[in-house]
Amino acid sequence: MVPEGFQQSVLETKPLNGRNDELTLRVVVFANVTTDPSTFSYALGNTDAEHERLIRQAARFAPLTERLFRDAGVGPGQRVLDLGSGMGDVAMLVAQIVGPSGEVVGVERDPSSIERAQIRVMEAGLHNVSFVRCDASELPGERPFDAAVGRLILQFLPDPVAVLRSVSQLVRPGGAIAFQEPSWKPYLALCSQMPLWSACGSLAVHAFEGAGANAEMGPELPRLFEMAGLPSPVMRMEMLLGHDLESTRWTSDLLGSLKPQIERLRLSVEKVGDFETLAERLRLEAIASGTTGPCVALLGAWCVKPAA
């Protein structure tokens, strides 16, 4: 019997007596799929489809992210660190803000993402963006940055406080630290009268959490900043709404990237149905209920690093 919350893997089945019919040894491993970090893989994966999804998502989130960074004090001529760069969209957005006299260094652990991000930076004609391949927990110390930023990255880190502490050590006193992280609670609250939307939101949250990510990292940012020795941050929340196909596709796209986790965790997709037709069914449900559809809420937090 498999204990609740555990996943069974058979590593080896071999006959003890040299024959296949008797005394068989089965080496069975029970991994706790809900709490054991050693079994977690990155929730969204690094497939080509996920890369394309990140690019589409970045185009939608760009105005929200740009507002946050500008308000946080990111400006012309600055040298900025971008944590968890993905396809490089945040790094390129920051490059526009800092201008040609500034510089952006992106940190990303996945080599295929870096490769794609580098090509996109080149195609955009930007000469002041570079990427370092490393885990966020092993940031290379070099000359100080004027600011450090990140979008949708702290939620995936096993020890976000430790990472925020090392990020802050790389920023000069007086420099800005700004992060944008998710909250799914507003999504779920807004669609509580729409069963399909609700099922999608719940499925996404369970998949993220089952893969070890924190779906409610946004509201935890003040606690994180303070535990990392930073001042209490200024906070804001922004959320895109819409039920045109481009908007509803955000939810179906995301579930598509989470599919391997959904299958690994054996989460039921019964209430969600066929992913291929999901965007259209979400659109129709919003129209029928006389309302619109949510997107994940983005919570922004920023502070200025105090003088030592």
Q: Encoding tokens for residue 192?
A: 């509580």
* Identified binder of ligand SAM from the candidate list 103, 108, 181, 285, rule CB under 6 A: 108
Given the complex with ligand SAM, which of 45 and 144 has the nearer CB atom? Answer: 45
In the Cβ-directed half-sphere of 66, how many Cα atoms lie within 13 Å? 13
**Shortest distance in whole angstroms from residue 109 CB to ligand SAM:** 4
* Identified binder of ligand SAM from the candidate list 84, 160, 175, 201, rule CB under 6 A: 84
151 binds ligand SAM (CB under 6 A): yes
Given the complex with ligand SAM, which of 107 and 194 has the nearer CB atom? Answer: 107
**Shortest distance in whole angstroms from residue 80 CB to ligand SAM:** 13
Q: What amino acid occupies position 284? A: L
90 binds ligand SAM (CB under 6 A): yes
CA–CA separation, 42 and 110 (whole Å): 10
131 binds ligand SAM (CB under 6 A): no
154 binds ligand SAM (CB under 6 A): no
Q: How many residues does the chain have?
A: 308
Element (H, E) at 256: helix 245-264
Q: Encoding tokens for residue 98?
A: 């800092």
**Shortest distance in whole angstroms from residue 165 CB to ligand SAM:** 15
Write the DSSP assignment of 18-51 as a string of letters.
SSSSSSEEEEEEEEETTT-GGG---TT---HHHH
Given the complex with ligand SAM, which of 62 and 265 has the nearer CB atom? Answer: 62
Neighbours of 287 (CB within 10 A): 12
Given the complex with ligand SAM, which of 39 and 113 has the nearer CB atom? Answer: 113
110 binds ligand SAM (CB under 6 A): yes
**Shortest distance in whole angstroms from residue 138 CB to ligand SAM:** 8
156 binds ligand SAM (CB under 6 A): yes
Given the complex with ligand SAM, which of 89 and 146 has the nearer CB atom? Answer: 89
Q: How far is CA 245 from the centre of its chain?
A: 23
Q: Which of 195, 149, 203, 201 is nearest to 171 (CA)?
A: 149
CA–CA separation, 165 and 267 (whole Å): 35
What does the binding site for ligand SAM look like in residue numbers (CB under 6 A)?
42, 44, 46, 54, 58, 84-86, 89-90, 107-110, 113, 135-136, 151-153, 156-157
